[in-house]
Amino acid sequence: MRPTQWRRSTHVVIGVAVVLVVAAVVVVAALLRGGQASDASAIPAAPAPATANPGIKPVSDSADKPVPDKLAATLALTLADPNLGAFTGRITDAATGEQLWTQGADVPMQPASVTKVLTTAAALHALDRDARLTTKVLASNRRPGLVVLKGGGDPTLSAAPKGQDTWYRDAARVSDLADQVMRSGTKVTAVAVDVSAFSGPTMAPGWDPLDIDGGDIAPMEAVMLDGGRTQPVSVDSTRSKTPALDAGRALAVALRVDPATVTVLPSGSDGDEIASVQSPPLIERLREMMNNSDNVMAESIGREVAAAQGKPQSFEGSVRAVLGELDSADIDTSGSRLMDCSGLSVDDRLTAETLDETVNAAAGPDQPKLRPLVDLLPIAGGSGTLSNRFLDTDAGRASAGWLRAKTGSLTGTNSLVGIVTDASGRVLSFAFISNNAGPSGRTAIDAFAATLRSCGCST
């Protein structure tokens, strides 16, 4: 039970107790006045029972859906904004899956970070929402005194001391690993790092190496600290070019071993497990990825899906695994060409149809495994990458709280994929992609999406 609920129920109990005390005083007073306490009229009537009035109410099943012709006419004005550039999209009724509006929805476009919608859906379809990733320390069987930090793909591991904030909530800590190693009685003289869980290149085709210094990505290695951030709790932190080595050095420092001697092993290692820590559950990592558009987290989760399918934990393996999961969920992925699972690559291509089908499946009745995706979408004007958007115009403000979407942004590209409750109370899913956008392309795509909330297109 939530604390606020507990307080409310306590107030009810206290209130009833007070009423009982007052009633008792009235009875005693009546007895003292002449034995009239048996008269029921002398006792105040009990208060009316408390009734719940929830602030969140379900949408109506009988709300009218928009008429396609009226919807198209209403959208025409914002669609004419040249800042949208090359624009494709699709709008669908969430309850029935009926397509209500489309423009070039089958044309592959550069999607940017809305790619994470596919990664999230694939993870929800393939994995348990409570799944965790494990980072281990092994005592080498071949070299006495050597311990090996064996990465399991968890990007949340942190070197922050106990009691100090980490970038990711409830992150595993190097200090916990070090404590377990010391309690094992192992005499440590050297530290190495095993990154063999991941294979292939550490940077995807279409990634700009400058994005490491820009803080958008780190080389994908099977163990890293705070998603590869060099300043763990800074939003503007650059990322490390050697994240696995950094993690090994942090463990060495905690074990009082010279960090300059740490090595990254060229292949897998064996040994006895003497320490382990676990990541936060999948659902919390997905929430972090979607709200903050975390590229490292997306690539890590893509590899988790690949591992579940027995595919290599590489860029190629994770992309094949994600698209394979969507195919098995009856989502059409034709036209998809992905280099990564985050959407950072300029070579990625997706269609609005695939993106809308994915979020429509989550909002509709036929794919219950995908349902949490709806809750993970940022809220317009309220959370994540939409917290400061849809607040600058009357139409935008009218959409705040009613529209939820994943955002995407690259140079010349803006995208939105999500759901909105329209003025009649009907839930619609949508996917919009704008390439070669003008200087106010983001404002233009927000204005287009906001029209869905205010459109009186059902009559």
> Using alpha carbons only, what angle is made at residue 292 by residues 287 and 295, rounded to the nearest 5 degrees?
95
For residue 154, how far is the Cα from the chain centroid? 16
Does the active-site annotation cover 158? no
Rg (CA), the chain: 28
**CA distance between the termini of the chain:** 43
Asked if residue 178 lies in contact with residue 251, where contact means CB atoms within 8 angstroms, the answer is yes
CA distance linking residue 408 with residue 395, whole number of Å: 21
The dihedral built from the CA positions of residue 352, 353, 359 and 364, taken in this order, carries a sign that is positive
- Which of these, 320, 312, 338, lies nearest to 201 by C-alpha position? 312
Which residues are CB-neighbours of 48 under 8 A, at least 6 positions away?
none
Please classify residue 211 by burial: count the beta carbons closer than 10 Å to its beta carbon, then call 0-12 exposed, 13-18 middle and 19+ buried.
middle
| Alpha-carbon gap, residue 205 to 344, rounded angstroms | 10
Q: Out of 113, 269, 314, 434, which one is annotated catalytic? A: 113
Q: Is the dihedral angle over the CA atoms 117, 119, 121, 124 positive or is it negative? A: negative
In the DSSP assignment, the letter for residue 260 is G
Q: Using an 8 Å Cβ cutoff, are 389 and 440 in contact?
A: no
Q: Is 116 a catalytic residue?
A: yes
**What would the two tokens of residue 358 be?**
């994915």
Task: Give CA–CA dist 103/89, Å, rounded.
Answer: 5
Residue 17 and residue 7: Cα distance in Å, rounded? Answer: 15
Q: Cα–Cα distance between 449 and 418 in angstroms, integer?
A: 10
Residue 405 phi, psi (nearest 5): -160, 150
**C-alpha to C-alpha distances, 255 to 146, 178, 204, nearest whole angstrom:** 12, 6, 34
**Contact 419/430 with Cβ under 8 angstroms?**
yes
The answer to whether 361 and 121 have CB atoms below 8 angstroms apart is yes
Residue 229, Cβ neighbours under 10 Å: how many?
A: 25
Looking up tokens 């985050």, which residue turns up? Answer: 342
The three-class DSSP label of residue 262 is: coil
Q: Which of 158, 269, 293, 342 does the annotation list as catalytic?
A: 293
Q: What amino acid is encoded at 368 in this protein?
A: P
Tell me the catalytic residues.
113, 116, 293
